[in-house]
Amino acid sequence: MKTKFLVSVFTVLVFISCKVSFVPDYDASVEQQIIDGAKANDKIYLELLADSVDRSYAKYSPEYTDVQAEINSIDLKIQASKHPKDMHMLDSMLLVHFIKYRDEHKQAKTPLNNAMIIDYQADIKAFWLALLKAEQGLPHSTSN
Amino acid sequence: MSLNINTTIQQMLNAMKTEAAGGWDKIKDASNSFLQAHKQRLQQLADQRLNNEIDDDFLKARLADEEDILKAELIAEKIITESAAQQAINAAFSVLETAILNAL
């Protein structure tokens, strides 16, 4: 009886250790931050479109800083997770393009026109969406 | 001047097919679905340039970004596929574990 019990415990331990893991676990807090970050980023472009008087970078600088802080925070959580490589790659692509669009706004010699704003808005949304889809596709702990 | 986006997309797919050669079958579905999903966006960029709302440099920068968006979408697909594989493998081993324990 005692031997059977020990064998059972051993078997369970062996199989628990056999669980494979290729990707990080889903994190609801990261998903919420992605949604919040995308919303704040979209708001910058919506406000720019609505503002025909002052589209200067200086006016929107604080909002850009808030969004970058959100992306950095998401990246910190991703890097602290197991198997972060691909999620980190996605987050880095988002950050690179966010900075690129921000800097183009900052360095623009003339105010951004509607077409440019619409392009920035559409493209950055695509990077946020890829990150969100990936996060939502990660294994949820309840289904493991 | 106008641009027929459907013809252009078919030409883009042909160019990808030629360049990818033997690997075309592996990326065919993802490439086709990306271009179809982004058809409106590519048309929008073309219209903006044809209407002189954006200049050549801005257009080139955005087209390069579209390439990066395709890369990002492919990475996201890879993550989702690996996640599904992980869950399927662990579910299979869980069944095996239960079967062995029940047999003890």
**Average of pLDDT values for A68-76?**
98
The ipTM assigned to this model is 0.86
Contacts of B99 in chain A (CB under 8 A): none
Among candidates A119, A122, A130 on the partner chain, residue whose Cβ is nearest the Cβ of B76? A130
Q: Tell whether the model's pLDDT for residue A77 goes beyond 50.
A: yes
Q: Tell whether the model's pLDDT for residue A11 goes beyond 70.
A: no
* pTM for the full predicted model: 0.87
Q: Tell whether the model's pLDDT for residue A5 goes beyond 80.
A: no
Burial of A110 (0-12, 13-18, 19+ CB in 10 A): exposed
Decide if A130 and B69 are in contact by the 8 Å CB cutoff: yes
Q: Quick one: pLDDT at residue B89?
A: 94
B70 domain-assigned: yes
* Local confidence band at A129 (pLDDT 50, 70, 90 cut-offs): very high
Q: Quick one: pLDDT at residue A143?
A: 45
Among candidates A104, A118, A133 on the partner chain, residue whose Cβ is nearest the Cβ of B76? A133
B14 domain-assigned: yes
d(CA A57, CA A17): 53
- B49, B86, B95: best to mutate for the A interface, most A CBs within 10 A: B86
Contacts of A78 in chain B (CB under 8 A): none
Which residues, in sequence order, are CB contacts of B4 under 8 Å at separation 6+? none
Q: Structural domain tally of chain B?
A: 1
- Does residue A139 contact residue B83 with C-beta atoms inside 8 Å? yes
Å from B41 to nearest chain A CA?
Answer: 8
Domain that holds residue B61: 5-76
Mean model confidence pLDDT for chain B: 91
B92 domain-assigned: no
d(CA B67, CA A53): 33
Structure tokens at B57: 């440099």
Query: pLDDT, tens digit, for every residue of A88-121?
Result: 999 999 999 999 999 999 999 999 999 999 999 9
Which regions of chain B are under pLDDT 50? none
Contacts of B94 in chain A (CB under 8 A): 15
A30, B17, B71 from A79: Cα distances, Å: 12, 36, 20
B87 domain-assigned: no
More confident call, A16 vs A53: A53
d(CA A122, CA B57): 18
| DSSP secondary structure, A28-52, as one string | HHHHHHHHHHHHHHHHHHHHHHH-S
Boundaries of every domain in chain A: 24-139
H/E stretch holding B17: helix B5-20
Q: Quick one: pLDDT at residue A144?
A: 42
B15 domain-assigned: yes
B93 domain-assigned: no
CATH 1.10.3470: does it fit domain A24-139?
no
B30 domain-assigned: yes
Which of these, A44, A23, A29, lies nearest to A118 by C-alpha position? Answer: A44
